[in-house]
């Protein structure tokens, strides 16, 4: 039977309900007990014969003659409903048999008992419809198999796939554990603008839109308030963090999305060296609170967050693998090395992009967890220089399963140095690199009032998708999809 035919049959059943005087979509519910709660105190409820009211979605129907069975799911668990003509008004029994389908939300009142097979169940004395479903659900045993349909009809995917349901519970725990970690260490949670006149804080292509009320073009932020949060350090808050959505108008892959959740934090009077221990504790805390474990299978890698995290030097790794010095090499040497390594460039190759791509080829083979240090300053326009090696940024990246899964800096707080780096980035933009950062005069002015030394760190939901060993879009509840073509 086609979906249209099934819908037509259910509309007929809707009319049966109306003819019987039963509302198909009432505003209220008398549900006073969850399935989970009823099962938790089943023995007491059975002994006392206390009447309870359950509510949920019918997931299966079976039975014939004078008895019917239904599995009721309410988001906390399942309960078997048993309807017998001997226990319920015959008209209500027949109405249930003639008008209820799998997928309907119903309310059932009665007492708890065990069937002959020992199944803990509700003996139904009364019932009523809470929401009549008009479209059929896929059979639970088969579920949704089409990958695009799984994402497009995520509500059915979650309803029918218990592991997917549990994943999104873990996602909530993931971000809550991160929040708890920061709050327990004295950080202030803040909210910063999503719409910006100058996008900053990252090397990324922004989404652009128009603000009608102010009649100006604005951008969706590409970082989780990096420059705003550092202005809050200038304002006197010593520790701040934000968990929020960011937007990057770039390519999509197993690891990259255009809109996703990011955590960024800034701690005054700290640096990248001290921040490494902080980040290590953060990741271990999230893993333990969310999963109860430290070891994960991610792609082809086994990652144990509880083991020691080695430090990898960026320039040493580039020299060993490709035979060039990432600091002193010329732009042509860097580009040639990248081309020889099979790197595909955009329309405007430069030294920074070439060296960055070379490192990413090395990174793929590192299981981690590991810290990356010694990144050249030209790849880190917002990071402070290392005191003993000024051509290197005082930056730390977290490497897990061949990818960067976290990034931190000893933040640049010299306004003149910051201006010079912004101007260098602007030259790259003028040469065609639309991911290079823009000159932000307002931020530099704020820095000139004095900004304390600080450690800044950011980690996105990529970490969650890695721990789940799933592509990034599968680990989002409602990933962006093209509109369905007719």
Per-residue pLDDT reduced to its tens digit, 366-387: 998 999 999 998 888 767 889 8
Pairing of strands 239-247, 188-189: parallel
Q: Residue 249 burial by CB count (10 A; 0-12/13-18/19+): exposed, middle or buried?
A: middle
Average pLDDT over the chain, rounded to an integer: 92
CATH number 2.40.50.140 is the correct assignment for the domain at 3-137 = yes
Is the pLDDT score of 143 beyond 70? Answer: no
Largest CA distance in the chain: 90
Per-residue pLDDT reduced to its tens digit, 333-347: 999 998 898 887 666
Q: How confident is the model at residue 317 (pLDDT cuts 50, 70, 90)?
A: very high
Residues 395, 240: Cα–Cα separation, whole Å: 19
**pLDDT (average), residues 311-325:** 94
Is the pLDDT score of 472 beyond 70? Answer: yes
**pLDDT (average), residues 230-255:** 93
- Give pLDDT, residue 423: 84
The CATH code of the domain at 157-310+368-475 is 3.30.930.10
Structural domain boundaries of the chain?
Answer: 3-137, 157-310+368-475
- Give pLDDT, residue 265: 98
Report residue 295 as tokens: 């070891």
Predicted TM-score (pTM) of the model is 0.89
Is the pLDDT score of 204 beyond 90? Answer: no
The answer to whether the beta carbons of residues 467 and 291 sit under 8 Å apart is yes
- Give pLDDT, residue 1: 81
Q: What is the DSSP letter of 240?
A: E
- Give pLDDT, residue 429: 74
| 360 contacts: CB under 8 Å, gap ≥ 6 | none
Strand intervals (E) in 320-424: 370-373, 395-400, 403-410
Q: How confident is the model at residue 226 (pLDDT cuts 50, 70, 90)?
A: very high
The answer to whether the beta carbons of residues 394 and 419 sit under 8 Å apart is no
- Give pLDDT, residue 121: 97
Considering the chain, what percentage of its residues have pLDDT values greater than 90?
Answer: 77
Q: How confident is the model at residue 486 (pLDDT cuts 50, 70, 90)?
A: low
153 vs 292, more confident: 292
- Give pLDDT, residue 431: 76
Task: Answer whether 3-137 and 157-310+368-475 agree in fold.
Answer: no
44 vs 430, more confident: 44
Residues 324, 322: Cα–Cα separation, whole Å: 6
Q: For 161-175, 231-245, 252-266, 425-439, which range has the lowest pLDDT when averaged over its residues?
A: 425-439
389 vs 130, more confident: 130
Residues 423, 57: Cα–Cα separation, whole Å: 60
């Amino acid at each position: 039977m086609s979906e249209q035919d099934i819908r037509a049959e259910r509309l007929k059943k809707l009319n049966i309900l109306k003819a019987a005087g039963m509302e198909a979509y009432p505003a209220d519910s008398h549900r006073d007990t969850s399935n989970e709660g009823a099962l938790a105190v089943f023995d007491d409820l059975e002994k006392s014969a206390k009447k309870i009211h359950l509510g949920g979605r019918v997931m299966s129907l079976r039975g014939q003659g004078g008895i019917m069975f239904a599995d009721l799911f309410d988001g906390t668990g399942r309960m078997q409903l048993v309807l017998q003509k001997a226990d319920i008004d015959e008209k209500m029994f027949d109405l249930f048999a003639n008008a209820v389908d799998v997928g309907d939300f119903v309310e059932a009142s009665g007492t708890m008992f065990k069937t002959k097979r020992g199944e803990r169940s509700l003996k139904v004395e009364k019932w009523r419809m809470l929401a009549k479903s008009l479209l059929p659900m896929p059979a639970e045993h088969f579920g949704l198999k089409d990958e695009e349909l799984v994402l497009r009809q995520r509500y059915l995917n979650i309803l029918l796939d218990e592991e997917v349901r549990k994943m999104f519970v873990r996602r909530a725990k993931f971000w809550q554990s991160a929040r708890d970690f920061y709050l327990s260490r004295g950080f202030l949670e803040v909210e910063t603008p999503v719409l910006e006149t100058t996008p900053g804080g990252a090397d990324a292509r922004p989404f652009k839109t128009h603000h009608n009320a102010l009649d100006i073009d604005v951008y969706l932020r590409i970082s989780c308030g990096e420059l705003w949060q550092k202005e809050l350090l200038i304002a006197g808050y010593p520790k701040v963090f934000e968990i929020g959505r960011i937007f990057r108008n770039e390519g999509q892959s197993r690891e990259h999305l255009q809109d996703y959740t990011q955590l960024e934090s800034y701690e005054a009077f700290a640096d990248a060296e001290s921040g490494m221990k902080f980040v290590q504790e953060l990741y271990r805390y999230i893993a333990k609170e969310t999963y109860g474990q430290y070891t994960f299978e991610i792609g082809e890698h086994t990652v144990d967050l509880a083991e020691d995290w080695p430090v990898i030097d960026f320039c040493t790794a580039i020299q060993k693998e490709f035979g060039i010095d990432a600091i002193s090499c010329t732009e042509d040497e860097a580009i040639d090395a990248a081309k020889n390594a099979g790197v595909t460039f955009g329309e405007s190759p430069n030294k920074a992009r070439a060296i960055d791509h070379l490192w990413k080829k090395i990174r793929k083979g590192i299981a981690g967890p590991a810290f990356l240090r010694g990144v050249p300053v030209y790849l880190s326009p917002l990071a402070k220089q290392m005191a003993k090696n000024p051509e290197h940024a005082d930056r730390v990246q977290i490497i897990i399963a061949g990818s960067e899964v976290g990034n931190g800096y000893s933040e640049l707080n010299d306004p003149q140095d910051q201006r010079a780096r912004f101007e260098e980035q602007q030259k790259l933009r003028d040469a065609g690199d639309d991911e290079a950062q823009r000159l932000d005069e307002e931020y530099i002015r704020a820095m000139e009032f004095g900004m304390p030394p600080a450690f800044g760190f950011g980690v996105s939901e990529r970490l969650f998708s890695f721990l789940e060993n799933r592509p990034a879009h599968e680990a989002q509840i409602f990933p962006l999809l093209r509109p369905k073509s007719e």
